[in-house]
Amino acid sequence: MNTTPEHNERIAQMTFGSVYPHYVTKVEKKGRTTDELHQVIEWLTGFDEQQLKQFIDEKATFKTVFAKANLNPNAHLIKGVICGYRIEDIENTLTRQVRYLDKLIDELARGRKMEKILRE
């Protein structure tokens, strides 16, 4: 199953700040902390908590966020299915990067150990 151009554009234009509260809710509901969430996001993108807050304040889109990200060299090790898509089969780079983030947050919420999530 591959993504459509419309799907890719919708993800590109979605603001990070509109999704971030859902990330927080998801991990906290499962007993994880926002510090752990920030650790996972920083591992993938290189952005610390202050930079994330700036993106939220600026209403930055995922396109902008990932254009500025310094993606972890081990990000390609993130595999599996998220939102009905097999991550490693997603051709659109931005959509694949956003799904990397979704997968890491999903693993965090499911209680996976941090060492395994961070794929080091």
Domains of the chain: 5-111 (1.10.8.290)
Nearest to 65 by CA among 82, 87, 42: 42
The whole model's pTM is what?
0.94
Tens-digit pLDDT profile for the chain (120 aa)? 578 999 999 999 999 999 999 999 999 999 999 999 999 999 999 999 999 999 999 999 999 999 999 999 999 999 999 988 899 999 999 999 999 999 999 999 999 999 999 997
Q: What are phi and psi of 31, to 5 degrees?
A: 85, 10
> Given its phi and psi angles, is residue 90 left (phi above 0), alpha (psi -120 to 50 degrees) or beta?
beta
Please tell me what DSSP assigns to residue 92.
S
The pLDDT assigned to 120 comes to: 77
Integer Cα distance of 115 and 87 in angstroms: 20
Integer Cα distance of 9 and 23 in angstroms: 21
- Residue 45: helix, strand or coil by DSSP? helix
